[in-house]
Amino acid sequence: MANTDYRDAVRILFLLNEKASEPNLDPSTNVEFPLRFKGEMRLQALDFWVRYPDYLADELVAQFDSTGDRTKLAAARSIFDANEPSERAIPMLRKYYGAYEHLDTVMAILAMSRLVKPITLQNSLGKNRQHFLISGKVADLCQEIVSDHPIFDWYLQRARLVVEVADGRGGVALKARQHQQKEYHDSKIGDLIPTIAERVQKRLEEIAA
């Protein structure tokens, strides 16, 4: 497997480990897997904000505009101060429902180590929905990864920020929010989602003026 596969696995593991997960109430699995993350669409939407710092910054600015919370504005500015839209972006393809990337390899890595157990459930409409059961070993492992490889601390901190910005919203709501960005929505299926860095930076300059 490529090094990027393991990097992707760590990034996804940090997202699954954060407060976006909830207690797993199934007694047949919750001893080994005490947490449950609901929804692949939700995971893809959270991962999009990790991979596109410019879109995350735009969401932070939008939340500042609606709440006046200057910590959101400061976080957005720090993204550009660190040149993250150029140096940290990991492009995603536009699929039918929006930004998407197959997680098969990532989940195979995590499942092989008994860190995550993907399960498929049917919702009330009879449609399959992917959930991910999270091992009790994951929290300590995430801290161990950062301790042994400090370069991954950025991903850990970014996962925490993204989960905070998502504010409990599900996959449908997060995707709908991301589709409100014209560049995201109008990109052609099969193309890479384009950057909005120039527009967001201009908005930050307007706020500072």
Q: What pLDDT, on the 0 to 100 scale, is given for residue 98?
A: 66
Cα 99 to Cα 155: distance, rounded to the nearest angstrom: 19
Q: What pLDDT, on the 0 to 100 scale, is given for residue 200?
A: 96
Q: Which residues of the chain have pLDDT under 50?
A: 1
Q: What pLDDT, on the 0 to 100 scale, is given for residue 124?
A: 63
Q: What pLDDT, on the 0 to 100 scale, is given for residue 24?
A: 93
